[in-house]
Amino acid sequence: MAILVGEEGRLFTLQTADGTYQMYADEKNVLLHTYYGKKIETENMAELICRTDVGFAGNPPEAAGDRTYSLDCLPQELPSGGVGDYREECVCIKHADGSLAADFRFAGYEVRKGAYKLPGLPALYDGGQESDTLVITMREKASDVTAYLYYGVFERENVITRAVRVENNGDKEIVLERCLSACLDFQYGSYDFITFCGRHAMERVPERTAIGRTKLEIGSLRGTSSHQYNPAVICCEATAGEEHGDCYGLCLAYSGNFLACAQMDQRGQTRALMGIHPGRFSYLLKAGESFDAPQVILSYSDEGLTKLSHQYHRILRNHMCRGAYQHSKRPILINNWEATYFDFNGEKILNIARQAAELGIEMLVLDDGWFGKRDSDYSGLGDWYVNERKLGGSLAQLSGKIHDMGMKFGLWLEPEMISEDSDLYRRHPEWAVRIPGREPNRSRSQLVLDLSRGDVRDYLFETLSGLLREASVDYVKWDVNRSTCDVYSNALGRERMGEVSHRLILGMYELLERLLTAFPNLLLEGCSGGGGRFDAGMLYYAPQIWCSDNTDAVNRLQIQYGTSFFYPVSAVGSHVSAVPNHQTGRITSFATRGHVALAGSFGYELDLNKVTEEEKELVKQQVAQFHKYNSLTREGDYYRIQAPGGRFSAWEFVDEAKEHALLTLVMTSAEGNPFPVHIAAKGLDPEKQYRCSVNGQVHSGRTWMNAGLTLARVPGEYESVLIEWEV
């Protein structure tokens, strides 16, 4: 059993393959967090808690004069505000009398077989027999409010999930001012906080900071998980590296505003929390209403960051991604955006498709500009009807011609947005997110469409489903190109304005679910100006996400490196683009651009009619490479060999049977009289014999991993090398 209950239903030990998570409801019904780490037995680890009289740390009434018992010092599963724990809290409730307090105490539990579901929210799933669920009931001491704590245990995958449901069982309204999904209290040890930060076109750059008494906090109030901060963080031992040290991951399955923070308290204990950002958030719960907070996916590794990443790759690939393309090879695509931008017609698109088909590319994706009055980003969003004058016919006709070439047809959409210069806005200005009487902020000349409204979602579903069906669309690039502000909904009362940001995300999820139910074979790629909404929640609907609008191969080394800590390579949208690169102006070889793009879904962002004959031959070679290596890169274990920032960057894939490995090395700087390049493999079977592609030598896996390989020639700047080992 993965969930073990002891001490008359008060001690809960969650066991995974290599780890143990334990909590205990003490005699005062405070749910204590007692242990999370390397696997132990089921002894009650509450004995690790050292209670002393800490000055200015108050005591609850049940302490009866025992000054050593304080919520301000105890490790807890659901720390709440206003009742004596002065640290960061998970839950804050505003009661009918205006008071702000919540004191939840243990009231019972239930163990279930299978993974739990969250209404309207993405969550890890299973086949009903692969995981177990523990539900702990917590009751607020002074009101009729109940919190249900959900713990999902994926034993084999070393994953534990957490979520919270708050119910108002009283007859008076309450307002949730804060409802975070998970808290981890570490009683002992010193930890670093690894976050993944950046900006548009430079997302998910790792940043590692020691956790001290100054609070470390990242988050988003942009309406998306954002380019600036990713909703996945790591708490690890200060000495932890790729292959050693305790590492704890927290990954939020949510695509909107979020918060992740960590801080050491006055006694040297560390608290880490994650969930919906409380900024500008409030949620009214009338009698009988409930609120579900999104899922946090926890994972623990006692062998460093690589093992932690492997655990996240497997759980997200196998238990978050869904649909026909969950494990399937994705079609090699060509997207016309960087080839044409808005300047295209039907014949120009067909010419790109003809050349692509000749070179073995499998899908043409028509990007922005095919609909409504849309020759720039100033107009047209919301008018999802085809501009037949521009295309020289219907979308169905264009799609049919591309299908006749033996290719699939994909389409760019941005359904969550609306242009003021659009027929839709002129008909329904109340559908835009904007505050009455206040001039709205505009970004990319557009406003946000209010998907919290059922009538808006119905309009989009009917319009988009008709379009997808009529044009036989195989793939959709689902984009969102601005952050949300001026938050207001004409469909909700003033008392619910703090709910709008969350309801927008729920509306987006509901619309995606309806479309994917109607079109189960549709391949959906998530996008938000590139990587502005690259999170576990989106993977529930889109098995791949456009990693970044930055297609520069050298910048992509850093972007894809940071992405790899949590997200599987199968989810990474990565393409070969033209040079000089449109974002950086850098010139890199066609071969290097292809090698970098192999660590992703693979495709092209250029006009193949403008490349040389030599480059066309390279496209054919790259297409062949993709087919040769795709099962390895899509499903294999990923190893970070050398981080970007030095002479070179390198990464490796190893298949499950440990019979085939592929290492990619890209030189990022050149020197006169250079040192040799020496590199060692990872993840091979020590006992098996492998032949290396670059020198033909056969050695044991142990030798290749320990002694390594010296390249006969030092590659030049921005040159790349593929190194293959096969049994």
Residue 524 has φ and ψ, to the nearest 5°, of -105, 130
Protein fold of 642-726: Immunoglobulin-like (2.60.40)
Q: What is the pLDDT of the chain when averaged over all its residues?
A: 97
Q: Residue 615 catalytic?
A: yes
Q: What percent of the chain has pLDDT over 70?
A: 100
Q: Which of 157, 338, 479, 615 is the catalytic position?
A: 615
Within the chain, all domains assigned CATH 2.60.40.1180 are found at: 642-726
Residue 179 has pLDDT above 90, yes or no: yes
Q: Residue 367 catalytic?
A: no
The DSSP output letter for 353 is H
What pLDDT score was predicted for residue 127? Answer: 78
Q: Which of 421, 474, 535, 635 is the catalytic position?
A: 535
DSSP line for 232-259: EEEEEETT--SSSB-EEEEEE--SSSEE
The Cα 607–Cα 315 span in angstroms is: 37
Is there a contact between 476 and 468 (Cβ–Cβ < 8 Å)? yes
Residue 130 has pLDDT above 90, yes or no: no
What is the token pair recorded at 165? 């449901």
Residue 691 has pLDDT above 80, yes or no: yes
DSSP line for 525-539: EE-BTTBTT-SHHHH
Could you tell me the pLDDT band of residue 129, with boundaries at 50, 70 and 90? confident
- pLDDT digit string, tens, across residues 560-612: 999 999 999 999 999 999 999 999 999 999 999 999 999 999 999 999 999 99
- Where is 413: in which H helix or E strand? strand 408-413
Cα atoms in the 13 Å half-sphere on the side-chain side of 701: 15
Averaged over 367-379, what is the pLDDT? 97
Strand 408-413, strand 363-366: pairing: parallel
Say which CATH class 3-319 falls into.
mainly beta
Averaged over 420-439, what is the pLDDT? 97
Instruction: Give which of 290, 308, 310, 288 is closest to 300, Cα–Cα.
Output: 308
Q: How many CB atoms lie within 10 A of CB 406?
A: 8
Task: Give the torsion sign (CA, 6, 9, 15, 20).
Answer: negative
- pLDDT digit string, tens, across residues 255-308: 999 999 999 999 999 999 999 999 999 999 999 999 999 999 999 999 999 999
Instruction: Give which of 159, 230, 244 is closest to 194, Cα–Cα.
Output: 230
Contacting residues for 12 by C-beta, under 8 A, at least 6 apart: 3, 4, 5, 22, 23, 24, 109, 134, 136, 151
Strand 333-335, strand 363-366: pairing: parallel
Residue 96 has pLDDT above 90, yes or no: yes
E-strand stretches of 518-588? 523-526, 544-546, 572-573, 576-577
Computed on alpha carbons and rounded to an integer, the radius of gyration of the chain in Å comes to: 27
Say which CATH class 333-635 falls into.
alpha beta
What pLDDT score was predicted for residue 379? Answer: 97
| pTM of structure | 0.98
Within the chain, all domains assigned CATH 2.70.98.60 are found at: 3-319
Contacting residues for 50 by C-beta, under 8 A, at least 6 apart: none
Within the chain, all domains assigned CATH 3.20.20.70 are found at: 333-635
Could you tell me the pLDDT band of residue 48, with boundaries at 50, 70 and 90? very high
